[in-house]
Every structure is written in structure tokens, then in C-alpha cells.
Amino acid sequence: MIDITSILTIVFVAAGIFFLLIGSIGIIRLPDFYSRTHATSKSDTLGMMLVIIGLMIFEGLTINSGKLFLILLFILLANPVGAHALARAALNSGLKPIFPDNKKDKTEG
Amino acid sequence: MDSFFLYAAVVLTAIIAIPAYRVVKGPTVFDRLVGTNAIATKTIVLICLIGYVFGRIDMFIDITLAYAILGFIGSLTIAKYFSSEKINVRYDD
């Protein structure tokens, strides 16, 4: 019952869920908005790509596999663009990044 | 193999519950938006896994495509809307 397709699917999906867990922990633990954006953008994109590649291996070469590939391509383009737009909006609206010398002067700003 | 997809979906649901803390407690509105964006990305994966659990992936894939496009458009629109507001929050602690 255990063949090479099942083993590859289990490995890819487990690795993807591990990276999604890393992204969630980064959203909780990191101290700043910009570092949180960094964590969620890259880790979530990689984890989602790994899970969907595992599902494509499980599916085989059908039309559903092609649709899964379209979802993968769309998220690969859209998720970093969304994170960039959000970070640029935050920078335009005056949110300061956290720096060691930025933390000293609390008088202005 | 069905039970593996079921366990993966349960674990992924527990992972999705983690950024809801940032959505509730974020200091600025952009922290809440980052949490919402992370929840949307993980929900796309969860809908795919649920399609394999139910055995009807040909229906759930279209739902996933529509959800991905709607989440992307919503994120861009909200970012453009909040780009013109001035906020004054510093991370002091």
C-alpha cells in the first residue's frame, strides 16, 4: 500500500505544514510590523508551495493537477505583492521601524 | 491516505488559530492586516486539503481559486485605503 507517491506526498505536505507553523510563530513572536511582514510573506509562500506540490504529486497528471498548478502560480505572484503593498502603505502612513537607535529618543514622533 | 489528509487538516486548523491572536491584539491596524493576510493564505491550503478529505477535489479547487483572487484584491484595496492615514504608534516595549 505504501508506494513512492504516498511517501513523496507525505513528505511534501508535512514539510509545508512545518513552514506554515514557522510563519505563524513568527507573527506572534517578532517585535515589529516589518519583521512580522518578513516572517509571514516568505514562510507562508514556501509552505503553501510545498503543500500544493505534494497534492499535485498525489493527484497525478489530470486537469485538477493543472488547476492546482494555477493556484500555486497565482499565490506565488500574489502573496509577496500583497505583503509589499501592505509594507509600503505602513511606511507611507508614518509607521517607524524598530531600530536600536530609533528606540532611544522617545520625545518626537 | 485519507486519514493523513484528515490529520493534516486538523493540524493546519490549529496553526490557523495562532495569527488570530495578532489580529485581536495588534498595536496598529497594519499588524491586524498582516494577521488577516496570513489567515487567508493558510485557509487556501486548508480548503485544498478538505477537498481531498471529502473526495470532491474538482469542486473545491474552483472555490480555492475564487478565494485566492478575492483575498488578493481585498488585501490590495485595504492597503491602498489605509495608505493615506497618519498613525503615530511606536513599539516601545
Give me the interface pTM, i.e. the ipTM: 0.85
Tell me the pTM.
0.84
Contact flag A20-B1 (C-beta cutoff 8 Å): no
Q: What is the mean pLDDT of each run of 10 residues along chain A (109 residues)?
A: 84 92 90 86 90 89 89 90 88 77 51
Per the structure, the count of domains in chain A is: 1
Closest CA to A74 of B35, B73, B58, B30: B73
Question: Per-residue confidence at B91, pLDDT binned at 50, 70, 90?
Answer: low
A97 falls within a domain: no
B3 contact A CB<8A:
no
Least Cα separation, residue A83 to chain B (angstroms) = 8
Amino acid A108: pLDDT:
45
What would the grid cell of residue B12 be? Answer: 493546519
What one-letter code names the amino acid at B45? V
Q: Binning pLDDT at 50, 70 and 90, where does residue B92 land?
A: low
B88 belongs to a structural domain? no
Closest chain B residue by Cα to residue A45: B41
Cα separation, A53 vs A42, in Å, equals 17
Residue B93 domain-assigned (yes or no): no
B57 CB burial (10 A radius; 0-12, 13-18, 19+): buried
> What is the domain range of residue A15?
4-92
Tell me, yes or no, whether A13 lies in a domain.
Answer: yes
Question: Between B15, B64, B83, which is nearest A89 by CB?
Answer: B83
Residue B35 lies in a domain: yes
Spell out the long-range contacts of A85-89 with Cβ–Cβ below 8 A and sequence spacing 24 or more. A85/B75, A85/B76, A85/B79, A85/B80, A86/A37, A86/B30, A86/B33, A86/B34, A86/B37, A86/B75, A86/B79, A87/A33, A87/A34, A87/A37, A88/B79, A88/B83, A89/B30, A89/B79, A89/B80, A89/B82, A89/B83
Secondary structure (3-state) at B67: helix
In a domain, B90, yes or no: no
Closest partner CB to B88 (pick from A17, A92, A94): A94
pLDDT tens digit sequence for B24-47: 987 888 888 888 888 988 999 999
pLDDT, tens only, B52-88: 889 888 889 999 999 989 988 988 888 888 877 676 6
Residue scoring higher pLDDT (B1 or A29): A29
Q: Is residue B87 part of a domain?
A: no
pLDDT at residue A104 in the model: 53
- CB-closest option in B28, B64, B72 to A33: B28
Residue A100 lies in a domain: no
A103, part of any domain: no
Contact A51, B45 (CB under 8 A): yes
pLDDT for B7 beyond 60: yes
In a domain? residue B13: yes
Which of chain A's residues have a Cβ under 8 Å away from the Cβ of B83?
Answer: 88-89, 92-93
Give the structural domain span for B19: 2-82
In a domain, B6, yes or no: yes
On whether residue B89 sits in a domain, the answer given is: no
- Is the sign of the CA dihedral A41, A86, B22, B61 positive or negative? negative
pLDDT at res. B89: 63
**Count of structural domains within chain B:** 1
Angle (CA) A93-A98-A101 rounded to 5° is: 120
Residue A80 lies in a domain: yes
Mutate to test the interface with B, among A76, A86, A92, A102 (most CBs of B within 10 A): A86
Q: Is B23 on the interface with A (CB under 8 A)?
A: no
